[in-house]
Amino acid sequence: MHESSLEALLEAARSQPIAFDGLEIESAEDGFLFAVPGHARSGLDQEQLVEQVSRHPKYLSNWYVFTRPRAEPRTAFLRWIEGAEALEVPERYTRLRDGMSTRWGELLIGATVHDGQRRYDLRHVEEEATPRDRLDTYEDPLEARALAKQDPSGRYRPLKSAPTLQAGWVFPELAPDELTATVEQFYPASIENWYLEREDALDVSHWRETMERQTGIYGVVETWDRGDGYDHVNWVTEAMCDDSQCLKRRRWEYDEETTLDTDPGDGAFPCREPCSLMVSAARRWTRLEGEQPERYQLTLTPSEKAQLERLIEAVADDELDEIREADLRDGANRYRARYLRAKRLDAEGQLDVEPADPS
């Protein structure tokens, strides 16, 4: 039992009653009352109170770790990791002794307790079974910022909630406050928004509301009207809000009265408004949608038509790296694509097409 936690408990008990996760301590005229589930004593002096607390150290360390001064969302997140709302203290400590794990986006959080002290192992979810000595070790929460900047290929990640987090690292011995700080480096504001949603206090900004705030070069997005605009936003969210593209769960809709047709996703933490990347993409698509459609005549074999469809699908789902060079049955195979280019594109890389209406 640690002296600092005991002293903090005694000081708190002298000023006001304590009732926390089954632990009860109250100062009365005839002495202290001490109670935990299935056990209670009253009329205790301070020495006797200390003795009772020492017999139930799990309740002391549980009280201490969750009553330290920190933002309420972070305390709620730490309690959620170990299922504090559903499990009583003894059962939680038994599970923590063996280790508990929780997924948060692409992060795997391992929680343990030793001598009353909680420690957390944070790593990529795909490396749950990888020995620590095979991973790069980090300690400072701020180091997570650099890890979150690039994908496994070294490319910049403009969207921190994209499922493209690189692996090969571990934060092996994080204290509670270090854990929450590290998680927020990987997924900024995710803990706070998750907490606000739980409290029914999440401030959601819907598409129309967000677009009405855009100015300057992004003001063009607001030109999408209510008719076609609704279809456009469905296309945008299908392209960018799918679980394969973003780990957040969309809470915003077209406007307060109009829901979108697309799936909002299954992520653990919510998305409260269209992100800056989506606004930028919508600006580009707005300009493209301003073009008038034309009909073209294009000669293709049925297999070539199916190949073009497959190419679009493979690029959209980021499957190109998974297609083997020898798999010539796949329409997105590199050699198949090069053959189609040689056959159907001219020297300038243009399709041999003619307008359906030459006039």
Number of Cβ atoms within 10 Å of the Cβ of 109:
23
Q: How many Cα atoms within 13 Å fall on the side-chain side of residue 309?
A: 7
DSSP structure string for 235-270: HHHHHHSSTTT--SEE---SSSS---SS-----SSE
Beta strands in the chain (DSSP E): 18-20, 23-28, 31-36, 39-44, 100-104, 107-114, 117-124, 136-137, 169-174, 249-250, 270-271, 296-298, 353-355
Residue type, 45: D
Say whether pTM exceeds 0.75.
Answer: yes
Which residues partner with 107 through β-bridges?
Answer: 104, 124
CB count within 10 Å of CB 245 equals: 19
Where do the domains of the chain lie, and which CATH numbers do they carry?
Answer: 3-66 (no CATH), 72-196 (3.30.1360.190), 203-289 (3.30.70.2320), 296-355 (no CATH)
In this structure, what token pair is assigned to residue 28? Answer: 């009365």
Write down the pLDDT at residue 9.
93
Kindly give the confidence (pLDDT) of every residue in the chain, 359 residues in length, as a single tens digit, with 9 standing for 90 and above.
477 899 999 999 998 999 999 999 999 989 999 999 999 999 999 999 999 999 999 999 999 999 999 999 999 999 999 999 999 999 999 999 999 999 999 999 999 999 889 999 999 999 999 999 999 999 999 999 999 999 999 999 999 999 999 999 999 999 999 999 999 999 999 999 999 999 999 999 999 888 888 766 445 555 554 455 678 888 889 999 999 999 999 999 999 999 999 999 999 999 999 999 988 888 888 777 777 888 888 888 999 999 999 999 999 988 888 999 889 899 999 989 998 998 889 888 888 777 666 66
